[in-house]
Chains A and B, each alone.
Chain A
Amino acid sequence: MSDTDILLKIRSLEVEGHSESGWSPIIRGVDLTLRRGEVLGLIGESGAGKSTLGLAAMGFARPGCRITAGSVEFDGIDLVRASEPEKRRLWGTRLTYVAQSAAASFNPAQRLIDQTIAASVREGLRTGADAAADARALYGSLMLPEPATIGRRYPHQVSGGQLQRVMTAMAISPRPNLVVFDEPTTALDVTTQVEVLLAMRKAVREHGAAAIYITHDLAVVAQMADRIKVLRHGAEVEEAPTREMLAAPKEDYTRSLWSVRLLNKPARASEDAVLTVEGVDAAYGTATVLDDVSIRLPRGRTVAIVGESGSGKSTTARVVTGLLPPRTGVVRFNGAVLPPALAARSKDQLRRIQMIYQMADTAMNPRQTVEEIIGRPLTFYHGLRGAALERRVVDLLDQIELPAHFIDRLPSELSGGQKQRICIARALAAEPDVIICDEVTSALDQIVQENILKLLMRLQEDQGLSYLFITHDIATVEAIADEIVVMHKGHVVEQGGKDQVLAPPHPDYTRLLLSSVPEMDPDWLTRISEARGLG
């Protein structure tokens, strides 16, 4: 390997972040070498310093962070010592960035094409007309619909997956030497993720750019990267070529990154239904969202509702909870018809169906302590007060495996996994029969996901709970479900036992959904793109 081959050389880099207690290390002496045209995957749980390292590779430190030691050498330029104007000339042209949330990263008031070509035109790499023609060609090669005119739209006029591909076009447009992808598909559902991954891989390969691909999903990074580096607590755990790492990870920690995919609960059948949704049609205004949906939840079992976003999964939950009264059809609980509207249901009916949300952050009042959050349903439904209330809260904390002193904490003093546990405790406090779990693990890391799923399964064993588990992640389904309901565009495609639904033959949509789940196999993406003729 000659020296001219090396594009990026990071040596014993240290980055610190500022918090209330002063400066603390985020990156502790990481080395990284990237050759021209090579793709490196960076993986680790949240807080491992992946994004910080990715940004540092561009010579950038987020506000509140600072590079304290080490060197970042990009094509012979020392980015740690380079002046701000020097770096600014590189950013957006030779060094580009694709962010996790495309929706939050675009300027909502500018047309897509103007934003796509802004950096090239600003640095005088190309004339506006020239760059625009090139951008349209890129849109085409990224398989965006109507490539000639889509650039004239504004960010809110295209879907999330399309926006992510436009952002990739923006990053490729100036023909950079290095693109940093920071969790670009985390917010997308699986069927969209496949398209975006293919588009990004194609763009990077065709234009010979080197890339750093940051994610917490090893299966995704396996499709993209030549080499993978695992980070933990700001330090390197191991680095190896992709195939080697997947075949034989050296460290236990690396293996634990995909342990949630290895969870697989044997499915059990049950005849006794605790909750049934029968022939429900529902609409927001005049837009029909659910069309003749029927779902059966057996007692003490878990039914997973899967489907991409917009398939009506969450709307089904809203019908069950009474937030959205259906136009026709009924929801039965223990055989009796539930009043369609929330306001008409009795306190006891409300108590028996509890809900856990995807974003634990917004599901807890930031001004209330853990005791108030968990204690309210205890007071509201069971009339507990004073010392009895406190004892029961401590008892519930114990059930969710948190120590008693958490009782005084505010949500801002909890980690993501701890927040979700508190939300589970709040649902348990009501002593429900049914808990609706709306994507409860999708905002969490793989390791935390595994712990939360195990907790939910243990609680089901202990208390005979029934779960209606809404998710778009098939790995989660395999881990927890007894039965599966596949939904698509407001219809139920099929409902059946887990083994039956996951085994062929499948209806077309189920097949598409299942084959879109990234597998721990570096050839998976190539294989399905050939199978679907997406090439």
Chain B
Amino acid sequence: MTQSQPITAAASGPRSRRSRAERLGRALKKAPASAHLGLVIIVAYLTVAILAPVIAPHGEAQVFAQPFAPWSAEHWLGTDQIGRDILSRLIYGARNTIGIALATTFLAFLIGGGLGLAAAIGRGWLDQLLSRAVDVLMAIPSLIFALMLLSIFGASSLNLILIIAVIDSTRVFRLTRSVAVSVAVMDYVEAARLRGEGLGWVMRREILPNILPPVVAEFGLRFCFVFLTIASLSFLGVGIQPPSADWGSMVRETAQLIQFAQYDLKAALTPLIPAAAIALITVGVNYVVDWFLHTASGLRDDV
């Protein structure tokens, strides 16, 4: 321990802190191969989604003369039941499906996470009210509930996002509340309240960073489930509406091709391709989440 010597900021020299970008670079270098693979998958999907109009050989809803055309140089993956190019629809589908799933998941975390934190800090009647409301919502089978609401309000993309987000936010609420409760009783939260900090600061700066690992893990999982829910709803016909392309409905529309496996193996693979696209993104997201959890558990490993 140094005895009192006057230390000025200038004399203390340059700080050893690294910039955010540098730290990210170092973390990436140390990341395991699975995390790299996950990142590559996600970046590839995002690129495809953003650049869809440039990459796709044909329009999203452009109809060609021959329905169920086999794989060819013109239509690499053939055409669907009304003659739309499957590759193009697959590429546009990334846009719709990922965009809606991401928006839905973010919204679910905003609602569920925000209310969960508020319930954990406020306790008392607010907690009771929110928790019981969530219990009621969770008691209804979510897919059937979503189907019902969508048929009442109409199957627009906006309704789809709102309804799935609200239903999914119940799980996020449960998780956030339970992990935040144990952080909310810490002395540093009390210290922040004694300082006079508002609810927003306590939530964002004192509690959120300390519950981030389980919440981010849940984000990865939720994203995949939302993806699957949208795909299921689309498969049932109330999800993303035609002519917008989406992987769930593409599976449904071309499902019958599987029966022709003995005549044309490639055509039979067609419905499996959008399904594989869904599977691959979920795997990629979870690799990245696993890596994050691993690094977050050590608080800081670049010392």
Query: Restricting to A157-189, which residues have a CB under 8 Å from any CB of B?
Result: none
Residue of A at shortest CB range from B17?
Answer: A408
Q: Are B7 and A403 in contact (CB under 8 A)?
A: yes
Query: For B72, what are the chain A residues with a Cβ–Cβ distance below 8 Å?
Result: none
Query: For A368, what are the chain B residues with a Cβ–Cβ distance below 8 Å?
Result: 205, 209
Residue of B at shortest CB range from A376?
Answer: B195
A355, A407, A408: the one contacting B191 at CB < 8 Å is A355
Tell me how far the C-beta of A518 lies from the nearest C-beta in chain B, rounded to whole angstroms.
Answer: 29
Q: Using C-beta atoms within 8 Å of the partner chain, give the interface range for chain A.
A: 35 or more
Kindly specify which of A43-51, A280-288, A305-313, A390-398 makes contact with the partner chain.
A390-398
Query: For A426, what are the chain B residues with a Cβ–Cβ distance below 8 Å?
Result: 191
A401-B188 in contact given A367-B299, A387-B9 (Cβ < 8 Å): no
Q: Are B303 and A413 in contact (CB under 8 A)?
A: yes
Task: Give how many A-B residue pairs fall within 8 Å (CB-CB).
Answer: 87
A323 touches B (CB below 8 Å): yes
Interface size on B, residues (CB 8 A): 31
Query: For A323, what are the chain B residues with a Cβ–Cβ distance below 8 Å?
Result: 190, 193-194
Tell me how far the C-beta of A92 lies from the nearest C-beta in chain B, rounded to whole angstroms.
Answer: 33
B206 touches A (CB below 8 Å): yes
Q: Are B195 and A394 in contact (CB under 8 A)?
A: no
Query: How far is it, in angstroms, between the C-alpha of A412 and the C-alpha of B297 when the chains are bound?
Result: 13
Q: Are A408 and B3 in contact (CB under 8 A)?
A: no
Contact with A along B162-197 (1 / 0, CB 8 A): 000000000000000000000000111011011111
Query: How far is it, in angstroms, between the C-alpha of A166 and the C-alpha of B11 when the chains are bound?
Result: 58
Residue of B at shortest CB range from A399?
Answer: B4
Query: How far is it, in angstroms, between the C-alpha of A405 and the C-alpha of B195 when the chains are bound?
Result: 26
Query: How far is it, in angstroms, between the C-alpha of A355 and the C-alpha of B188 when the chains are bound?
Result: 11
Q: Are A401 and B2 in contact (CB under 8 A)?
A: yes
Query: For A413, what are the chain B residues with a Cβ–Cβ distance below 8 Å?
Result: 303
Query: For A350, what are the chain B residues with a Cβ–Cβ distance below 8 Å?
Result: 194-196
Contact with B along A136-167 (1 / 0, CB 8 A): 00000000000000000000000000000000
Query: For A69, what are the chain B residues with a Cβ–Cβ distance below 8 Å?
Result: none
A347, A365, A390, A404: the one contacting B188 at CB < 8 Å is A365
Query: How far is it, in angstroms, between the C-alpha of A410 and the C-alpha of B210 when the chains are bound?
Result: 13
A390, A402, A405: the one contacting B1 at CB < 8 Å is A402
Q: Are A367 and B209 in contact (CB under 8 A)?
A: yes
Q: Are A405 and B12 in contact (CB under 8 A)?
A: yes
Tell me how far the C-beta of A414 lies from the nearest C-beta in chain B, rounded to whole angstroms.
Answer: 12
Contact with A along B195-210 (1 / 0, CB 8 A): 1110000000110011
Kindly specify which of A212-220, A265-273, A356-364 makes contact with the partner chain.
A356-364
Contact with A along B21-39 (1 / 0, CB 8 A): 0000000000000000000
Query: How far is it, in angstroms, between the C-alpha of A387 and the C-alpha of B12 when the chains are bound?
Result: 13
Query: Restricting to A463-501, which residues have a CB under 8 Å from any CB of B?
Result: none
B5, B7, B196, B303 — which one has the most chain A CB atoms within 10 A of its CB?
B196
Tell me how far the C-beta of A398 lies from the nearest C-beta in chain B, rounded to whole angstroms.
Answer: 5
Query: How far is it, in angstroms, between the C-alpha of A347 and the C-alpha of B193 when the chains are bound?
Result: 11
> A interface vs B, CB < 8 Å?
321-323, 342, 345, 347, 350-351, 354-355, 357, 359, 362-368, 376-377, 380-381, 387, 390-391, 394-395, 397-399, 401-405, 407-408, 410, 412-413, 426, 430
> B interface vs A, CB < 8 Å?
1-9, 11-12, 15-17, 186-188, 190-191, 193-197, 205-206, 209-210, 299-300, 303
Given contacts A323-B193, A377-B195, A426-B191, 7 further A-B contacts (CB under 8 A): A321-B194, A322-B194, A363-B187, A401-B3, A401-B4, A403-B7, A407-B15
